[in-house]
């Protein structure tokens, strides 16, 4: 009788698979055991029974071996576990790498509507509102090609600044006062002027000054001069006055000539001179803001521009006729911090002098009372009016905040912030999120000030 082929298969002991794969293996084996294996037909009688015994049929390899699949599963499981652990370690490391505290504070703020006059004194001391006087000078030139020529003579002209270090009272000079240059050339003032007295602060003397146009005593190129100093001939008999009242060129002295002269029409000369004056006006406005000291504010209506009057030039030794406009800009300027404090004192009843700032200061409408009657160089007291809406915001010292938080517990944050009267509200974010204390290094704490 033919043996049961299935019974002849010797099973090699295997490692117990997981429940899932054990059930899969049982199902597979059951299928194989129910299959009927038929023996081959007997061959020639010359062969023995054992020789005629048919070999057991090949059992096809299971394409999904339970053991193979289980090994593959465990291999993949180990990879996933390793990846998860790596991600966790990386996250943990990055958390410490980007650790720190970010503090956001909103400073104390008071909104006010301003429509108030403020008295201001030159170089005063707070709580009075002080102002300072800024003065600058400039010139502009416009040239035209000549349209003709003639034989003529012309006198050199220019602008000179006269100084008074002699007296605290104004000193008056008549028209045609004689000024002498170091080379001995004489020039006459074109009008009568009053030189303001000097100012003394401690041991420092600031001379009074005034600009005046001058004309050479004679025609000729030899009277043309670069910037230079002048003495006042009429004071030679008073050595002290002669030394302390003097002049300095504001502009070059030019235009002196004799002989053949190139010319332009009076209309063309006037048009060019008007253009030079217009350009100079814009130059002075721009220059005043460019040269404004840091920390000061200049309002448009606090600016005075004066352009010297001169006759347009119609003839010159040069083939191009150049019109020159000269002028000065004077302005009342205020320290921003002074205005901030004075406004705060005016509108906040319990203001105690803490540092504050007003972001809208430049946009307030400024008016200078009685501007038409003010002489900037001599005035000592002015009244200004400011109008507009503004926020008075208390300054926050971020370094002090950081110092107060180093190493402190997160739960104490609000109580620490409440001690600072300049802070209205505050929030904090500490990384990593599980950290319950502020960093021990100040550089790991960031403070952001949020102004509304």
Which domains does the chain carry? Answer: 5-96 (no CATH), 151-260 (2.40.30)
Apex 451 CA angle, 390 and 335, nearest 5? 50
CA gap 179, 167 in Å, rounded: 20
Report which listed range, 1-15, 17-31, 127-141, is most confident. Answer: 127-141
pLDDT at 45 over 50: no
Give the tens place of pLDDT for each residue, 245-292.
999 999 889 888 888 989 999 999 999 999 999 999 999 999 999 999
pLDDT digit string, tens, across residues 173-210 = 999 999 999 999 999 999 999 999 999 888 889 999 99
Predicted confidence at residue 309, as pLDDT, reads: 82
Q: Residue 122: which of 382, 386, 296, 343 has the closest Cα?
A: 382
Banded model confidence at residue 137, pLDDT cuts 50, 70, 90? very high
Interior angle at CA 39, CA 35 and CA 41, nearest 5: 145
Per-residue pLDDT at 68: 54
State pLDDT tens for residues 354-410.
999 999 999 999 999 999 999 998 899 999 999 999 999 999 999 999 999 999 999
3-state DSSP of the chain: CCCCHHHHCCCCCCCCCCHHHHHHHHHHHHHHHCCCCCCCCCCCCCCCCCCCCCCCCCCCCCCCCHHHHHHHHHHHHHHHHHHHHHHHHHHHHHHHHCCEEEEEEEECEEEEEEEEEEEEEECCCCCCEEEEEEEEEEEEEEEEECCEEEEEEEEEEEEEEEEECCCCCCEEECCCCEEECCCCCEEEECCCEEECCCEEECCEEECEEEEEEEEEEEECHHHCECCCEEEEHHHCCCHHHHHHEEEEECCCEECCEEEEEEECCHHHHHHHHHHHHHHHHHHHHHHHHHCCCCCEECCHHHEEEEECCCCCCCEECCCEEEEEEEEEEEEEEEEHHHHHHHHHHHHCCCCCCCCEECCCHHHCEEEECCHHHCCCCCCCEEEEEEEEEEEEEECCCHHHHHHHHCCCEHHHHHHHHHCCCCEEEEEEEEECCCCCECCCCHHHEEEEECCC
The residue-averaged pLDDT of 133-162 equals 93
pTM summary value: 0.63
Q: How far, in Å, CA of 338 to CA of 343, rounded?
A: 9
């Amino acid at each position: 009788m033919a043996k049961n082929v299935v019974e002849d298969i010797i099973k090699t002991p295997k490692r117990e698979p997981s429940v899932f794969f054990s059930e899969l293996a049982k199902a597979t084996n059951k299928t194989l055991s129910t299959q009927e294996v038929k023996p081959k037909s007997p061959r020639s009688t010359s062969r023995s029974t054992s020789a005629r015994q048919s070999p057991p049929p090949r059992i096809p390899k299971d394409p999904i071996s339970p053991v193979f699949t289980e090994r593959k599963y465990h291999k993949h499981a180990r990879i996933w576990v390793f990846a998860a652990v790596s991600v966790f370690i990386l996250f943990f490391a990055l958390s410490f790498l980007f650790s720190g505290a970010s503090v956001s504070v909103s400073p104390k703020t008071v909104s006010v509507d301003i429509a108030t006059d403020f008295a201001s004194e030159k170089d005063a001391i707070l709580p009075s509102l002080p102002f300072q006087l800024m003065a600058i000078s400039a010139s502009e030139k416009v040239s035209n090609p000549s349209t003709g020529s003639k034989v003529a003579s012309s006198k050199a002209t220019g602008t000179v600044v006269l100084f008074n270090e002699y007296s605290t009272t104004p000193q008056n000079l008549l028209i045609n006062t004689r000024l002498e240059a170091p080379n001995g050339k004489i020039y006459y003032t074109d009008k009568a002027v009053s030189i303001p007295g000097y100012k003394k602060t401690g041991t420092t003397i600031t001379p009074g000054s005034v600009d005046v146009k001058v004309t050479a005593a004679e025609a000729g190129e030899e009277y043309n001069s670069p910037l230079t100093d002048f003495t006042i001939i009429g004071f030679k008999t008073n050595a002290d006055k002669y030394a302390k009242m003097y002049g300095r060129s504001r502009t070059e002295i030019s235009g002196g000539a004799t002989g053949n002269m190139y010319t332009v029409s009076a209309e063309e000369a006037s048009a060019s001179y008007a253009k030079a004056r217009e350009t100079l006006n814009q130059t002075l406005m721009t220059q005043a803001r460019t040269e404004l000291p840091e920390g000061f504010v200049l309002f448009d209506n606090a600016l005075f521009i004066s352009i010297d009057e001169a006759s347009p030039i119609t003839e010159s030794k040069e083939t191009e006729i150049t019109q020159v406009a000269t002028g000065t800009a004077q302005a009342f300027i205020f320290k921003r911090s002074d205005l901030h404090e004075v406004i705060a004192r005016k509108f906040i009843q319990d203001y105690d002098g803490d540092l504050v700032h007003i972001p809208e200061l430049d946009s307030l409408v400024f008016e200078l009372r009685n501007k038409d009657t003010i002489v900037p160089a001599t005035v000592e007291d002015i009244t200004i009016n400011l109008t507009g809406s503004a926020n008075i915001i208390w300054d926050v010292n971020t370094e002090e905040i950081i110092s107060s938080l180093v190493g402190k517990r997160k739960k104490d944050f609000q109580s620490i912030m409440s001690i600072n009267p300049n802070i209205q509200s505050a929030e904090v974010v500490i990384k990593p999120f599980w950290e319950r204390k502020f960093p021990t290094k100040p550089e790991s704490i960031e403070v952001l000030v949020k102004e509304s």
